Structure 1
């Protein structure tokens, strides 16, 4: 796959089994282990200092952007499934309804360690 860099130069970028551009993650479907389509990746949250992907923000519900909610999923709980062409998370739709979330007009405070702990605790993942 070739890509145009900001300088106008073209470079070949190889995307392997463990590497993908963030722009390609956005829009990727998210399924639960039963195969139900839960939503899609809206954005990702990256640690400023360590460069690690912390959360995938999954868009859930709504219609044409109205009533949509966003669920931060710890990156560790997502597994990519090539057969489905999307990420799989071990959570039911009912469990997702009680999961930490925010609305389109809200912005989480990613600096708030308590907020991060609540998300990670809900999904049973250790906080960084």
Structure 2
């Protein structure tokens, strides 16, 4: 008799467990607790489609890179090569850095000239030089450009405006 009660007790326990499990499966999902919400990373905002990029077509005879291009004086003297371009905080081109003097890089120094003192002519033809409105003597007297130091820009008469340091 005792065994029968035990079996009846076990059977009853299993029936209750089955009923509770069945009821839990049919219940609607509840929101996670506040602690669970705080631990979960926020879901990313839906991404908006980026606007299409603008496209500009430039004919080869209209523009060309200037780095490495030879610079000549009005008297057709070799003034060096453009090795860098200086822009201000607004992105406006202000000057060109010219590697001036020396032979095969030995004894040369970098000087900075006002962008408006340069004349580009036929830029599409890589063999054409860029002309500088300064003499070789003026460029030779210019202070050397050193990175992270104040830049002294050599300009053609009346063209150069100082950079506002604010």
The normalised TM-score by structure 2 is 0.52
Which residue number corresponds to residue 126 of structure 1? 161
2:58 is aligned to: 14
> Cα distance 1:19–1:46, how it changes in 2: closer, same or farther (>3 A)?
farther
Aligned residues: 104
The yes-or-no answer on 1:25 pairing with 2:60 is no
Give the gaps of 5 or more residues in structure 2. Answer: 1-54
Instruction: Judge conservation of contact 2:109–2:144 (CA < 8 Å) in 1.
Output: yes
Aligned to 1:89: 132
SS of the aligned residue for 2:139 comes to helix
Structure 2 counterparts to residues 1-128 of structure 1, below 5 A: 14-15=58-59, 19-20=63-64, 24-47=65-88, 49-82=89-122, 85-102=128-145, 106-109=146-149, 112=150, 115=151, 118-119=152-153, 123-124=156-157, 125-128=160-163
Deviations for 1:45-70, whole angstroms, at most 9, x for unmatched residues?
A: 112x3111111000111222221101
Offset, 1:14: 2.3
Q: Could you report, residue by residue, the CA deviation over 1:12-44 in whole angstroms, capped at 9, with x for unpaired residues? A: 952567654xxx211111111111121110111
Larger gyration radius, structure 1 or structure 2:
2
Structure with higher helix content: 2
The 1:91–1:56 alpha-carbon spacing in structure 2 relative to 1, beyond 3 Å, is: same
C-alpha root-mean-square deviation of aligned residues, in Å?
2.8
Cα distance in 2 for partners of 1:15, 1:99 equals: 36
